[in-house]
Structures are given as structure tokens and as C-alpha cells.
Structure 1
Amino acid sequence: MSYQNISSEIEAELHNILNYWSKNTLDEKNGGFIGEIDFNGNKNFGAEKGSVLYGRILWTFSAAYSFTNSPKHFQISERAFNEIKEKFYNSHTKGIYWSINADGSPKDTKNQIYALSFVIYGLSEFYKISKNQQALDLATEIFHSIQDHAYDPVSGGYFEAFTSDWKPIEDMRLSEKDANQKKTMNTHLHIVEAYANLYLVWQNEDLRQSIIEILKIIDQYFIDKDTWHLKLFFDENWNERKDVVSYGHDIEAAWLLLWCAEISNDEVLVKKYRDYAVKITNATLEGLDADGGLWYEYDPQKNFLIAEKHWWPQAELWIGCVNAYQITGDEKYLEIFRKNWEFTKSHIIDGKNGEWFWGINADYSKIRKDKAGFWKCPYHNSRACLEIISRLS
């Protein structure tokens, strides 16, 4: 199959993803979007709703509108923006609630910097298509909140989480599977992603310098120069708490950090992250299975493979491999992408009901988790589709 044909298939899949979210996730009962749709398609109208989900929906439909020019996609992005502004934004402390109840009242009011970052990412993308000044003002306000409260002026980098009024919080974890540490790769990756997207619409020099500083911090602490995998967890003084190898985060970082460096216009960092992109991609390929799918995680301390293939690492693998091809000209990366596309079509995409399954186990049985929910969002797969369409053109 030619790559032009694959690009056409992926464009069709982008519309499938957008159609699923357009038709199934609008909450006509409580407003906004449904907090959870389970594996069988059952809608839980009483589920709590997460700010990460809303920030990612805002980004997805804003980015999609730039490609489709569909009024429906604009309306959905506007719906997400209004919900964030009216229900998730804490105007007293200039923060973002982690979650709200189904009726729109605050539930978990902590400021998780990861979530604030995704809200900035979505708001800046929405501003691109709407020129709505409220969206840009809110994005810049949250940027200042992160800089004022989460930045570590002593050791550099950013702390994970705070109470709603920006006091220290005991449990800083993003999810139950994470280590309770003060500084994490995942949050730094998405702060710099959000800041870079904001810089595209707000050419502020302090913001640009923050992007450059985060990229230097990631280079210094999070990228393992022996293995080219990412180190995930640290205390406030940059002492590592060893954990798993996350293949999905490796490959996402491979291309995304280069994109951020290019936006910063720092030539030294661009050159460095072009080199890193290929090295991190090659390290990620240790997690490839013979069927073309990418395994989820590996624990080097226990020599134990978490033998699952989740939806989002497959999507990030597409971009990472096409990016490595664009840098090197080596067509082996295109072949890895092509084979994973076939794997994803066969095992991850739900051709009957739409959207993607959470993933599969080693025996190819489906992982019976959400179709849409707190962590199951349209951002990884729709972004992969948009990036591949753009890069293969």
C-alpha cells in the first residue's frame, strides 16, 4: 500500500474519531460532555468530569477545525471552552479544578499542574481558530499561576500539585499508578508542550525563556544518556526514584520536544533535540512486538514486561517514526509506522462502534476499560491523524 493511500485511510479515521465524540459524548442532561462511556458503550451521566478530558477535547476540536472547517467542530470546541471558563476555572485563586461533579459543581479542587497545562494547550489552540480574547487571557493567566506557584526557583523545574489555594499537598500523584514524587517527566513534558503552543499565539519573551529553560531541564535530568529512555520521577532536589520504562512517553517525547525546540527558535536546542529525537525513537523500538504493536511499559529492575498494548502509544509511535524518517531519510521508520497502522486497524480501532479500544492484552483480548472518560480522550489519536496527514503530504 502506498503512503498516499495510508494518508487517505488515516484522514477517514480522523473523521471517524471526531464523529464518535460529536455524536456520543455531548451531555444533553447536565451540559458539557459525559464523564464516562464504558467499554460496552454505556453512558454514565453521573460520572465526575476531569479537566484533563475537557482541555484535550478543546484542543482536539480546535485543531480539527483548522483542518476540516466544520461548523460542528467549531461549536464543540466552543462548548468545551465555555465549560472550562464557567465550571473548571477557579477565579479566586486563578487555578483549574482537577474535576467537577456531573452537575457542574467542583469536586476535586486541587491544582494539578498537568491539568493546568492541558487547559493552556486547549485554550491556545481555540484562540487560533476563534480569536476569542477571553481564551487567550485565561491561557496567559494560568501560565502566570504556574510560574508564580509551581516553578522551583532553587533547583529549577516545576512541582506537581497544590491545594486549590496553592498550598502544599500531601498526595501529588497524577494517578494511582504513579509515584508520589514532587517532579515528574510527564508533567514537564506537557508544561513545555502547552507553553510552546501558547507561544504560537502570544509572543511573550518570558514565555519563550521558560520553554528554553524547561527543555534544558529535560535534557539535564529526564533523558537517560545511557539508555535514551526517559527517567520518570524525582524529588525536589532531582534525586531519581527509579521506575518503569514507558515506551509511549519515550516516543511522544521524541517528536514533541523537537517541536517545542523549533518553536523556541533556539538553534542549539533544535540541533540537540533533532539528534535526541532519533536516539529516543531507536530506544523506543525495543518495545516493538513482532506484530507491529508497541508494548506499554517495561520494568528493568524486575525484568518484567507489562504485556499490554494501549491505544495512545500506538498513535504516538506513528508521529515519532515519521518524524525520525523526516530527520534521517531512513525508510525503516516509515515501514515501522506502516506496520503499526495495520496493527492498529486490526486490534485497536473499533470498526463497529467507533473510537479506539483502550488496548489489548498479550493474548489479543480487549482491555475492557472506558471508551471515553477521565483518561480516555480524543487527543492522542486525533493528533496523530492530523500530524501524519500533514507530514505525509
Structure 2
Amino acid sequence: MYDITAFQRELDSILNYWITYTPDDQNGGFYGKINHENKVEPEAPKGSVLNARILWSFSAAYNQNSKPVYLNLAKRSYDYIRNYFVDKNYGGVYWTVDFEGNPLDTKKQIYALSFTIYGLAEYYKACKDESALALAKQLFADIEKHSFDQEKGGYLEAFAQDWKELPDLRLSAKDANEKKTMNTHLHVLEAYTNLYRIWKDEFLEKQICGLINDFLKHIIDPKANRLILFLDENWQPKSEIISYGHDIEGSWLLLEAAEVLEDEAIIMQVKEVSVAMARAAASGLDPDGSMYYEYEPEHDHLIKDRHWWVQAEAMVGFLNAWQLTGEQQFFDQFEKVWNFTHFHIIDSQKGEWVWGLKDDYTLMPGEDKVGVWKCPYHNSRSMIEVIHRLKKAS
């Protein structure tokens, strides 16, 4: 019997932070930015990804624990997304709105549409609101109409508000400006997987199969068992950077997608790849139990920052590999990452998790507790997954 008490307690703590600090009672929805000291920036832009992740987190928490306050927060997020982020003229969702809900960055980043689908599907599971399912289906149709590459397969990265081509496709300044990325494909797959749980559509099933094939054929390096981060429209690799967090996250999300299809041949194939990816990702572990951020082979540069989301995904990925193989080393890796996270990443004084630590254990400077990227999704999902998997193993 595995003790899940600490993980349930931490899940409750994460959610309580977001309930306490993030609702914007003056302008609606949630604040767009809160710094490490929990100081709110009330006029910060509000991001579609942040709001979609809040929607997913509180919907998933309600589906796990049925607390009315969780469903209330999920509905708050859903209402705000529907009223302010959805583009009523062209479809899709805006990347950001201002603090009052006016469109700000109106580009159509497929990554953002995917997370909105992911959250909507989870919300529908929680309350069976047909309007949420209808919106999820509409965003799915938008992605397939505008982003799906009919000739080469896969999904193109981003578009202007009216779905015309953009010169700059990047999610963030650190990204390569390429038409296809691992990150967007991973989260399209994640979104479609969750949507398929509530909508057994044949075309959706076909597209999930296609995405899994894209990973196996193009996005995973078969020799290194690592994800290729950036590719051109013809699937030619455009990056050698190793992202340990994405490798371990991809290892379990890919299997989750295969399992919803209930095709044993695909499941067996993906299980092998999943375990191989977890083994490869383990090279990013420090002896203290934490997982590093990235490695740049071109410059032989190991980025030893310990980001919050990488630790969250590492816990799930190694626990998944242990479930698949029974190998004790994977369970030990899961426990070590949890111990590091418990003592160094969780902010027991001010709440939530810090963005990350440098190699000397000092805080990464200038990072937020709440922001366009800093959200309750990685860590709450990690706790939910760990609780579920340990219960299953008992």
C-alpha cells in the first residue's frame, strides 16, 4: 500500500493558492500576473493558455474530489474564456487579452487552441455543459481546417487573426521560428486525447492515430529516444537541443493517447517507446534527485536550472515507466524527484511552487508565481496522476 497523503495534501495546497490569490473580482476571470512575493499586477495581460490551464486544473480536481468550490472556479474560467478569448469573427482563441478583456495579441497559436480544447473537455466531464463540448468541437474544426498539413501530415504552428500566414510563428522568444514544433504537436495530441474520451468521433480517432504516427516517424529520434524540438514543414529536424522535461512528459502522454484508442498493436508499440524515452530522459537527473532543464549539444552546454514543470512531469513519467516495467530504478527516480520537489520547489511559506532554482539552489531571478506560462496545470496534474497511479498499484 502506497501512502498518498502527502500528494493529496499538496494538491489541496496548490488549488487553495489559486482560489485565494488569483480571481480578479474587479475585471473578471483571473489576474494575469502575480510575482514570487505574491504581489498582484492587476493590469497585466491575461493569457489564453493560463486560463485554459486553470479551467483544466479545477475541472480535473472536481472530477477527482467533487468539491463545489473547484467547479465554481472551473466555471469562472470557462465563462471568461467563452466571453473574452474566443474570437467571434474568425474562430479560434486570442493569445492574450488586456486586463479588462479587450483583445491584445490576436494571433492564432495552435498551442493555445489545443489547451483550450483540453480544458473544455475536462470541464464537460465535470458538469456535462453541452455548450463547452460544442466549443471544443468548434476549436477542433478550426485546427483541422487551418492548421492540419494535408500533404505532409502534422500541424502548422501559428496564424494571424484571420488565419493568414505569419512571419513569426514562435510561442516565445527562445523558440526557433519553424512551421512545426514538438511542443505544439504534443499538446494537440494531449487535447485530442482528452476530447476523444467524451466524443468518440471517427475523424478525431483518425487524427489521433496520425499524431501518434507523426511522433514515431518524425518527432522522436529513434536512435536517441528523444524528442526533436523544431522541424520544418517537411519534417526535417531544425534543432539538436535536448529538453529533458519534454522527453519525460512526452513518454507518458504518448502512451495515454495510444490507450484511449484501445488498439493493442499501437499500445504495445508505444509502450516500448515510452520506456525507452524515460530511460533516455534519466540522463538529465542530478544526484540530488532533480531534473535539469536542457542540454545544448552544439555548445556542450548543460542548463542546470531546475524548472517547476520539469520536476512535475518527471514524477509522472518515471512512475509510468515503473508501472510498465516493474523496475525499481524508475520508482526510485520518481521518489527522488518528489523529495527534491517537496524540499526545494514547493514554497511552504508563500504557497504554490517556485518557478525554479539555479544550480546553486538560489531562485531563478524575476520569475512569477502566476503568469502567461506559470499555471496550476503541471503541478496539480502531477499530483492527480501520482495519486491515481499509486492507488492503482496498491
TM-score (structure 2 length as normaliser): 0.98
1:202 counterpart letter in structure 2 = W
Sequence identity, in percent? 47
CA distance in structure 2 between the partners assigned to 1:218 and 1:4 by the alignment: 33
Superposed counterparts of 1:177-256, under 5 Å: 177-256=174-253
CA distance in structure 2 between the partners assigned to 1:244 and 1:29 by the alignment: 43
Counterpart in 1 of 2:130? 133
2:254 counterpart letter in structure 1 = L
How many residues align structurally?
A: 390
Alpha-carbon displacement from aligned partner over 1:330-367 (angstroms, at most 9, x marks no partner): 11111111111110011100001110000100000011
Counterpart in 1 of 2:385? 387
Task: Give yes or no for the alignment of 1:297 onto 2:294.
Answer: yes
Counterpart in 2 of 1:65? 62
Alpha-carbon displacement from aligned partner over 1:258-296 (angstroms, at most 9, x marks no partner): 000111223222111100111000000000001000000
Q: Which runs of 5+ in 2 are unaligned?
A: none
The range that moved more, 230-239 or 115-124, is 230-239
Counterpart in 1 of 2:116? 119
Question: Cα RMSD (Å) of the superposition?
Answer: 0.8
Quote the offset at 1:4 in angstroms: 2.6
CA distance in structure 1 between the partners assigned to 2:300 and 2:294 by the alignment: 11
2:92 counterpart letter in structure 1 = G
Choose which of 325, 329, 332 in structure 1 pairs with 2:326: 329
CA contact (8 A) 2:290 2:337 kept: yes
CA contact (8 A) 2:121 2:133 kept: yes
Counterpart in 1 of 2:169? 172
Counterpart in 2 of 1:17? 14
CA contact (8 A) 2:37 2:350 kept: no
Task: Give yes or no for the alignment of 1:356 onto 2:363.
Answer: no
CA contact (8 A) 1:60 1:383 kept: yes
The range that moved more, 207-216 or 239-248, is 239-248
Alpha-carbon displacement from aligned partner over 1:195-241 (angstroms, at most 9, x marks no partner): 01001111100000000001001111110111111101011111211
2:226 counterpart letter in structure 1 = H
2:374 counterpart letter in structure 1 = K
CA distance in structure 2 between the partners assigned to 1:266 and 1:51 by the alignment: 34
CA distance in structure 2 between the partners assigned to 1:234 and 1:49 by the alignment: 29
CA distance in structure 1 between the partners assigned to 2:239 and 2:183 by the alignment: 14
Task: Give yes or no for the alignment of 1:56 onto 2:57.
Answer: no
Q: Which runs of 5+ in 1 are unaligned?
A: none
Counterpart in 2 of 1:83? 80
Counterpart in 1 of 2:314? 317
CA contact (8 A) 1:172 1:181 kept: yes
TM-score (structure 1 length as normaliser): 0.98
CA contact (8 A) 1:161 1:172 kept: yes
2:338 counterpart letter in structure 1 = W
1:391 counterpart letter in structure 2 = R
CA distance in structure 2 between the partners assigned to 1:208 and 1:249 by the alignment: 24
CA contact (8 A) 2:90 2:161 kept: yes
CA distance in structure 2 between the partners assigned to 1:88 and 1:267 by the alignment: 39
CA distance in structure 2 between the partners assigned to 1:14 and 1:253 by the alignment: 22
SS in 2 for 1:207: helix
CA distance in structure 2 between the partners assigned to 1:13 and 1:277 by the alignment: 27
